[in-house]
Each structure stands twice: as C-alpha cells, then as structure tokens.
A and B are shown apart, each in its own frame.
Chain A
Amino acid sequence: MTTEMKASVLKNLDAVRAMIRRHKRNDMLFAMVGLVALMLGLLTLLTLFIDLVMDGYPRFNLQFFSDFPSRRAGSAGLLSAWVGSALVMLVTFLTAVPVGVAAGLYLEEYAPKNWFSDLIEINVSNLAGVPSIIYGLLALGLFVYGFNFGQSILTAGLTLGLLILPIVIVSTREAIRGIPVAIREAAYAVGATKWQVVSDHVVKYSQGGILTGVIIGMSRAIGETAPIITIGALTFIAFLPPSPISDVAPFINFQWLDSGFTVLPIQMFNWLSRPDHAFHINAAATGAIIIVVTLLMNGTAIYLRYKIRKNIKW
C-alpha cells in the first residue's frame, strides 16, 4: 500500500518535473523568437543602409554636392536639391515652431476645460494620423492655386510646417506637463502675471523637451516626399534660388520664397524612377545621405531627451 503510493507520488513528481522543464523550455524559446522579432526591424535598416552605401559609394565625393542635376548620370549632382531642402526647412521651421509652441502653451496653460478645447485637442490628434499625401492635396488646392503661391519654396515650407505642427504641439505639451505646479505658484506669489509665468518659467524649463520635439519634426519634414511631389514640385532644377542675402541694403531679400525648387527626397525619387541603372547609383547615394541626416537628427533628439530626464529633478 505505502510503497504503491510512494511509487505513484514519485511518478507524479517526475511528470511534474518534466512539465516544468517543458514550460521553461517554452519560455526560453519564446524569448529567443521575441528577440529576433525585435531585431528584425534593426537588421532590415542595417541591410538597407549597407545596400545604399554599397550601391552609391562611387558618388560619395564633393563633386556630387556641387553639381547640378544632369542628363548624364555620372555628372549629375545634388546642389539644387540640398540647397532647396535647406531653404524649405527654414520656412518650415519658422512656421511650425512659433505656431506649434504657442498652440501647445495655449492648450496646457490657458485653455479652459470645455468643448472648445476638446475640439482643438481632437483636431490635433486627428491631424497626426492624416496621411502626408493629403497635406500635399491641401497645399495644391489652397497654397498653389487658392493663394497663388505657385510651386514655390514658400508653398513647400508651409505644407511641411502644417505637417509637423501636431508633432511640435504634442511635444510642447508633454514638456510643459512635467513642470510642477509649485513653480507657477511661486511666480504668481511674487506678483507675476500669467504671461510672465509662462514666458519666464514655463517656456524656459520646457525648452529642452520642446527642442526634442522640434528636431524630430524637422527630421520628419526633411525626408517627406509625397506632399512635395503632390504640390507639383519640378524634379529637374538646374539653377539655384536667389540668395537670401544680398549685397545692397537691406541685405536680405525674399525672392527665394517664390522660386522653383527641388529637395533631396524628390531628387532621389526622380533618379529612382528612371530605367537607366546609372541613375540608380545616384539615388542610392542620395538615400544614404538622407538616412544619415535623419538618423543623426533623431539620435540627437533621443539623446537630448534622455539627458533631460536624467538631469532634471524637481
């Protein structure tokens, strides 16, 4: 009797141990699969980047940056594209940052809790989900033909400004939300007005967070292709826009805003859609450059946020 029970307990024990082993193995297996799944994106990006660099390396020289596009792939360059990108980014920065930060400040510091601020909030989160090409259609109908800005740097800059507005607004709000109420109360206690509190304290302490959002937004804008194509940007530009700085007073001019332009991703798309393989080399080199620029910007932003999180202790 007792020996039988002992035997069955031992048998059960073995079964239980086997089950535990099996389950532990499953755990290990899943952890491995999970790690692979997580790495897949990174591996793809690495493959993509190595592929671009290997395909495009013959074009990595200064000539490539100082030449205009050309019918011959070997002597075609990026000059008009990178100048165009820089000017468009300038307009984007000047529109998205003030408007986005102001909107974020209003929603966090001023807006009363009612249907009106709900409406604005719903719109901001909805806009973040609108496909970028729709912004292109908006710009085509409104800026190009409605306001008659034409297919200019101004139109492109404004379009991308609208596109990254939700990013700037959301990151501004997040940065502001981290500031304790005590700081505001202290400022009010010594007689500051609301705007003094906001401009001297709230904005100041959230600068880092806002900057992070701005960088992420700008890096998004620099790689955007679809909205710029949709406004009908030309792809073959063999001239530079008029310089923003002139040698006669008042030393700056705004003619460049009206100028036709091309940007890096559009130049890449143009080369990529040609059947001639020689142009694909140019496209690969351009792609590698765009990836390096956006990764550097995003990397800076992420590092900045990490530093801020570590350093600020209220």
Chain B
Amino acid sequence: MNTATMTENTTTLTISPRLAKSVRRNIKERVIELILMLAALSAVFTTFAIVAILFYESFGFFKTVSLVEFFTGTEWTPLFEDAHYGILPLVAGTLTTSLVALAVAVPIGTIAAIYLSEFASHKTREIAKPILELLVGVPTIAFGYFALLFVTPLLQKVYPVLPGFNMLSAGLVMGVMIIPYIASVAEDAMRAVPMSMREGSYAMGATRFQTAIRVITPAATSGIVAAYILAISRAVGETMVVAVAAGQQPNFTFNPTEGAATITAYIVQVAMGDLPHASIGYQSIFAAGLVLFAMTLGFNLIGHVVRKKFREQY
C-alpha cells in the first residue's frame, strides 16, 4: 500500500517534466520542419517570380505593341525614333548561332561520348570525366574573348571579307563550349545500356565499333537525343560569347558570316545603357526575355520527356 503510493507519486512527479520536455521537443521539431520546407519552397517561389515578372513587364510592352507585329515583324529597333518591334531578327540570330554551335558540338560530342563509353579504358575515363567537368566550369566571358580576338582573326585569314563581329566564330566557340555537356550526358545514356547487350554483340563476332554503332547507339537513342535537346537549350540561352563576338546589331539573316544580335545580346545591350524604369525600351527586354524563357523551357521539357518516355526498359 505504502510502496504503491510512493511509486505512484514518483511516476507522476517524473512524467510531467518529461511530458513537458517532449511537448517542447515536438514543437521544436515542427518549427524546424517548417523552416526547411520554406527553404525548399524557395525553388517554387523563384520559378513563380520569374514567370510573374516576365509576364508583368511584358504586359506593359504589349499594350503598345501588337502581338502580330511582335511575332511577324522583321525589324527590331525599339530604341530608335522610328521604332519597330518585330522579334524575328533576334530569333534568327539566336537560332543561327545555336545551329552553328550544334553543327560543331553534336558530331564531336557524340563521337567523344562513344569513345568514352565503349573504347576508353577505365583509367582514361577516370581522367577524362573530371576534365570535361572543368571545361563546363570555364566562365563564358573568357570564351567571348577567345571568339572575338582569336577565332575571328583566324577565320579572317581564310575568308578575308568576314566582318569583325560575326555569328560564325561565336557559334563555333559556343559549340566547343557545349561539347563536354553533350559528351557527358550522352555517355551516361550509353553506359546505362546493360553489359549483356554488349556481350551478346561481341559473342556474335562484332567489333567494338560495330557494337557501338549498331547496338549501343540505337539502344541509348533517347538519352542521346535528350543530350542534344538540352544542348540546344544551353546554346539558345548563352549570352556572353554572342554579346561579345556576334555583334549587337539586329539583322534578319540566317547567314552565319554576318553579324547579328541574339535575344540575349539585345538584353545585355539595353541593360548596359541607362534606360528609365517602365519605358518601352525597358519593357522590351522583358518581352524578349519571355520569348527566350519560353524557348528554353520548351526545349528542356521536350528533353525531359524524351529521356523519361522513350527510355528503353531492359
């Protein structure tokens, strides 16, 4: 009897501070979880803010400029007295530099990926992959210098009428810049092809080259195509190389030996000058940015869908 009351007393005495502590602990845990969740939500917030700002500022722009003029006009002179607001010259510049870049990066990147995945020894791969990563990390402004003051003079020796600002050298340098990107994404896709398929092919007497071209590449097509599409998206959004080397004059042409401004180069050009807030020139860079954002988002989405949907299941 006596002992029972004593234990009862001690338990009530010891439980209540424990309970209090546990409640405090739970609250603290919940608060921490909430803070961490808010941090994770910052990604959603950023996307939302990008879309909101681009639409909000473009909305002001499209009050003055009709959508028809924007998408079909072939002259882009928003800062001139006689202003024209056709985005096509900027889109043409963007596509031309990107196509030149892809013409360089797709074949070389693919060959490098096949080599890394199917031919290179373990040791070579261990050395090559970090180097590819280093290349991705080189600031693009340095490549801009290279395009303007090294590649362009070099090209002018072969083709003397090439202007100092041209899309060709910007595109070529951009192409070299995105080789590592294609190589590493495509290589990942090829390495994901199961070993048994290689072994089956070798057992039939195929050489490495035959196996790579006829077995591995078809099996990894979705990943390789995704690498190309993601590379396009990077080329389209690349800024400093084209702003430095391709010129800042909007020019409706697909001829890479001419100079022309891209969407990104135009944004840089306007931002360098001191435009008043809420002027049409200020709003025009957001309209241009919206087009750029839509283009890259489109390519990224297609890239992800291709990679997910058409992945071969083994």
Contacts and interface: CB of A to CB of B under 8 A. Distances in A.
Contact of A99 (B42, B114, B144, B237): B42
Nearest to B143: A48
A41 B272 CA distance: 31
A298 interface: yes
Interface residues of A, number: 91
Interface in B196-225: 207-210, 212
A280 B149 contact: yes
The A contact surface, by secondary structure, is: helix
A230 B267 contact: yes
The B contact surface, by secondary structure, is: helix
Interface stretch (A126-134, A242-250, A251-259): A126-134
A138 B274 CA distance: 18
A178 interface: no
Interface string B13-52: 0000000000001001100110111011111101101100
Interface string B229-262: 0100110111110011000000000000000000
A52 B145 contact: yes
Interface stretch (A5-13, A70-78, A102-110, A179-187): A102-110
A55 interface: yes
Contact of B40 (A37, A102, A127, A141): A102
A58 interface: no
A38 B289 contact: no
B111 A287 contact: no
A220 B140 CA distance: 10
A190 to B, nearest CB: 15
Q: Which of A44, A47, A223, A294 has the most CB of B within 10 A?
A: A44
A268 B128 CA distance: 30
A290 interface: yes
Interface in A87-146: 98-100, 102-103, 105-107, 110-111, 119-120, 123-127, 129-138, 140-142, 145-146
B205 to A, nearest CB: 9
Q: Which of A162, A222, A272, A302 has the most CB of B within 10 A?
A: A272
Contacts of B240: 225-226, 265, 269
Contacts of B292: 131, 133-134
Contacts of A31: 115, 119, 208
B264 interface: yes
Q: Which of B115, B141, B208 has the most CB of A within 10 A?
A: B141
A82 to B, nearest CB: 14
A229 B266 CA distance: 12
B286 interface: yes
B184 to A, nearest CB: 11
Q: Which of A132, A141, A145, A297 has the most CB of B within 10 A?
A: A141
Interface in A153-196: 162, 165-166, 169, 193-195
A268 B145 contact: yes
B208 A47 contact: no
B234 to A, nearest CB: 8
Nearest to B301: A126
Given A41-B176, A138-B53, A142-B53, A229 B271 contact: yes
Q: Which of A55, A99, A297 has the most CB of B within 10 A?
A: A99
How many interface residues does chain B have, given as a range?
35 or more
A195 B32 contact: yes
A27 interface: yes
A284 B142 CA distance: 8
A262 interface: no
Given A110-B33, A131-B296, A272-B148, A137 B236 contact: no
Contacts of A298: 133-134, 137
Interface string A276-299: 000010011001001100110111
Contacts of B114: 30, 34
B115 A37 contact: yes
A297 B120 CA distance: 27
B43 A123 contact: yes
A18 interface: no
B286 A141 contact: yes
A307 to B, nearest CB: 13
A165 B237 contact: no
B112 A131 contact: no
Interface string A197-219: 00000000000000000001001
A232 B271 contact: yes
Contact of A123 (B29, B44, B243): B44
A273 interface: yes
B143 A42 contact: no
A98 B130 CA distance: 27
A99 B44 CA distance: 13
A81 interface: no
A226 B208 contact: no
A14 interface: no
A165 B230 CA distance: 20
B73 interface: no
B108 interface: yes
Given A47-B150, A145-B277, A38 B53 contact: no
B77 interface: no
Nearest to B133: A302
24 contacts: A23-B209, A34-B114, A34-B116, A37-B179, A102-B39, A103-B36, A106-B40, A120-B40, A120-B44, A126-B300, A134-B289, A137-B267, A137-B285, A137-B289, A141-B53, A142-B49, A220-B137, A223-B137, A225-B140, A269-B243, A272-B141, A272-B148, A291-B142, A297-B137
